[in-house]
């Protein structure tokens, strides 16, 4: 266990150079000794016989206190070749009172230096205990924590053997109150949310699939509705937001919609330009997991983050709505089983020029494509065909005429798919501000 000593590690000194392993310590005079015939000592007098361990400690640090008798015992075992200088930044009065209260702590074999403001600048650190190992030439050989303070390591050091000890290296520039960036390249789990960042455009990207699971999503400069739409559709219709499938309960519609996106908000909005609205109402969000999880779980993590960030409640509610219901008619001109894809590789349903192309796609994929293509239409689409297997299919339309909803319905009927308008319970995305 290590305790933090933040105050002195941050001091600046332009005359004292921080020392590292391999450097030679200057032959300075250490002051403030309290258990010696003299209150000063030349540092070279301590290391010239073999090994000097400089131990930085404090009265409030339990691991430090536990280390003192260990150091004293080692010093007694190697009286001619080992010196120990226990250095405290605390005042001598505090140290003396502490030792007087704790008579069970034997320090008769080590030197205690108080009021230190010099050695701590040569050996900057944050955590204590902090131990510096110096050989008989004044060369710094190791900087360790208390775990390396043992007879085996001291014996090997004095016998000039190669001692492998873990190096204690505090990052003295680290501040707990600052945003944490030290692990930016090695993090295992991260959820980051920032305001709009100018100059990077806008969009999103995800890592993983429905089949293999997901472990990352990054949306940059996205609005509130954009981000929740990703969760609601599970990223199947990102660039085609269908507002028929969204209900927003709020006192502040402006944060959800651009200035001229909804007519009645245009005069109420304090934003007259999109760029001004974007500065306050677009966001960047990055969620990274250590391993892939089922996409439904991943999108729930995203929803939980967004609800906390935006102080809203996100639900999916089934509401009665007029829908285009796709069903299958037996005995049609073609049987869709003839177009069964035996080895699906990629799920896709696209309109290309005068064709509707299904490649390893289900009827559910087709419905999703129709929903995204005719998002401004009056009705929603629901798949009740019962066809779960993927199919490969190309439907040709008249190249001289635009593809309309009616021509699409007519073509689908040729393949045994009929589209009827019926009232159905449909899952709607609902966002409700928590401060209503």
Q: What does each of the 436 residues of the chain score in pLDDT, given as a tens digit?
A: 555 554 433 344 447 899 999 999 999 999 999 988 899 999 999 999 999 999 999 999 999 999 999 999 999 999 999 999 999 999 999 999 999 999 999 899 999 999 999 999 999 999 999 999 999 999 999 999 999 999 999 999 999 998 889 999 999 888 888 888 888 889 899 999 999 999 999 999 999 988 899 999 999 999 999 999 999 988 776 567 888 889 999 998 889 988 777 665 656 778 878 889 999 999 999 999 999 999 999 999 999 999 999 999 999 999 998 888 999 887 654 555 555 545 444 457 777 778 888 787 888 888 877 766 765 455 688 889 888 788 787 888 888 888 888 888 888 888 888 989 999 999 999 999 999 8
- Say yes or no: 149 and 206 in one domain: no
Q: Does an H or E element contain 46, and which? A: helix 43-47
Residues 6+ apart with CB under 8 A from 404: none
- Say yes or no: 332 and 384 in one domain: yes
Is residue 88, in this structure, part of any structural domain at all?
yes
By residue range, what is the domain housing residue 64? 3-158
Is residue 402, in this structure, part of any structural domain at all?
yes
268 backbone dihedrals φ, ψ, rounded to 5°:
-85, -25
List the 391-396 sheet strands across, edge first: 348-352, 355-361, 391-396
**What is the count of structural domains for the chain?**
3
| CATH of residue 143 | 3.40.30.10
Is residue 184, in this structure, part of any structural domain at all?
no
Tokens of residue 368, six digits: 């999703």
pTM above 0.85, yes or no: no
Per the CB < 8 A criterion, the answer to whether 287 and 187 are in contact is no
């Amino acid at each position: 266990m290590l305790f933090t000593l933040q105050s002195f590690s941050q001091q600046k000194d332009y005359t004292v150079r921080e020392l590292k392993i391999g450097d030679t310590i200057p032959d300075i005079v250490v002051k403030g000794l309290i258990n010696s015939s003299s209150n000063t000592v030349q540092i070279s007098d301590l290391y010239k016989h073999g090994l000097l361990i400089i131990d930085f400690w404090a009265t409030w640090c339990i691991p430090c206190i536990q280390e003192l008798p260990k150091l004293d015992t080692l010093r007694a075992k190697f009286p001619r070749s080992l010196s120990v200088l226990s250095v405290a930044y605390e005042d001598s009065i505090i140290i003396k009172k502490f030792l007087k209260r704790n008579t069970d702590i034997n320090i008769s074999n080590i030197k205690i230096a108080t009021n230190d403001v010099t050695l701590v600048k040569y050996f900057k650190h944050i955590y204590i205990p902090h131990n510096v190992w110096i050989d008989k030439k004044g060369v710094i050989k190791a900087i360790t924590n208390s775990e390396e303070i043992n007879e085996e390591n001291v014996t090997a050091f004095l016998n000039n053997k190669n001692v492998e000890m873990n190096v204690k290296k505090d990052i003295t520039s680290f501040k707990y109150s600052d945003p944490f960036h030290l692990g930016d390249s090695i993090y295992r789990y991260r959820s980051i949310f920032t305001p709009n960042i100018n100059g990077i455009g806008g969009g999103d990207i995800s890592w993983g699939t429905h089949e293999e699971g997901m472990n990352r999503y990054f949306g940059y400069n996205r609005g509130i509705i954009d981000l929740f739409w990703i969760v609601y559709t599970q990223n199947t219709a990102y660039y085609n937001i269908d507002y028929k499938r969204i209900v927003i309960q709020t006192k502040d519609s402006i944060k959800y919609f651009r200035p001229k996106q909804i007519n009645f908000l245009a005069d109420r909005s304090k934003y007259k330009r999109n760029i001004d609205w974007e500065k306050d109402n677009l966001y960047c969000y990055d969620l990274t997991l250590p391993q892939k999880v089922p996409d439904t779980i991943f999108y729930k993590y995203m929803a939980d983050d967004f609800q906390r960030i935006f102080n809203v409640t996100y639900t999916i509610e089934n509401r009665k709505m007029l829908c285009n219901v796709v069903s299958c008619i037996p005995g049609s001109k073609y049987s869709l089983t003839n177009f069964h894809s035996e080895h699906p590789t990629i799920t896709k349903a696209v309109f290309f020029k005068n064709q509707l192309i299904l490649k390893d796609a289900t009827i559910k994929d087709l419905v999703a494509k129709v929903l995204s293509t005719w998002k401004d239409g009056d009705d929603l689409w629901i798949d009740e065909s019962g066809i779960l297997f993927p199919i490969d299919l190309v439907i040709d339309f008249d190249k001289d005429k635009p593809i309309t909803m009616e021509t699409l319905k007519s073509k689908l009927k040729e393949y045994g798919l009929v589209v009827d308008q019926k009232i159905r319970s449909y899952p709607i995305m609902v966002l409700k501000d928590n401060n209503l």
